[in-house]
Amino acid sequence: MDDVLADNGYYSAANVQTCVAHGLTPYVAAGRDTHHLGLAERFAAAAPAPDGTDPVTTMKHRLSTQSGKAVYGLRKNTVEPVFGIIKSVLGYRAFLRRELKAVSAEWTLVGIAWNLKRMFTLSLAVR
């Protein structure tokens, strides 16, 4: 089964149910979690899995476990740095064109710019 990692902007019961219906395991934040938990809360045993087949409840429980937090934490290593660099370094914060075809072309150019920047940076590390 494949995993879907998404922030709470994509959270809805319909999205979670759609993921499950397509054989995907959703890890979608259902709100903001508190940071810097105390030792007792951080290392406490996970609550038992809920009864029933409600995908939203199951996903929320999955996210509360240590393994679920580890999987969801992968977003920090894969997707988020790319968007942060595109926004801050490349200065790209909004699409200038409208309609799907034009926006797709614009995003392709942003992707090319990101890849060229990344290739250049990696080529300097090889020297």
Instruction: For residue 10, give every residue at least 6 positions away whose Cβ sits within 8 Å of its Cβ, in sequence order, or none.
Output: 28
Candidates 49, 50, 51, 12; CA nearest to 29 is 12
What is the arithmetic mean of pLDDT over 41-70? 84
Q: Is the predicted pLDDT of residue 44 greater than 80, yes or no? A: no
Question: Among the residues of 22-79, which ranges form H helices?
Answer: 39-42, 55-64, 66-72, 75-78
What is the arithmetic mean of pLDDT over 14-41? 86
| Average pLDDT value over all residues in the chain | 86
pLDDT digits (tens, 9 = 90+) for 65-90: 888 888 988 887 777 788 888 888 88
The residue ranking higher by pLDDT, 110 or 50, is: 110
Candidates 118, 1, 102; CA nearest to 59 is 1
What is the pTM (predicted TM-score) of this model?
A: 0.62
d(CA 86, CA 80): 10
Q: Which pLDDT score, from 0 to 100, does residue 45 have?
A: 78
d(CA 29, CA 6): 7
Q: Which pLDDT score, from 0 to 100, does residue 1 have?
A: 58
Given pLDDT bands bounded at 50, 70 and 90, which one contains residue 107?
A: very high
Residue position matching structure tokens 């219906």: 21
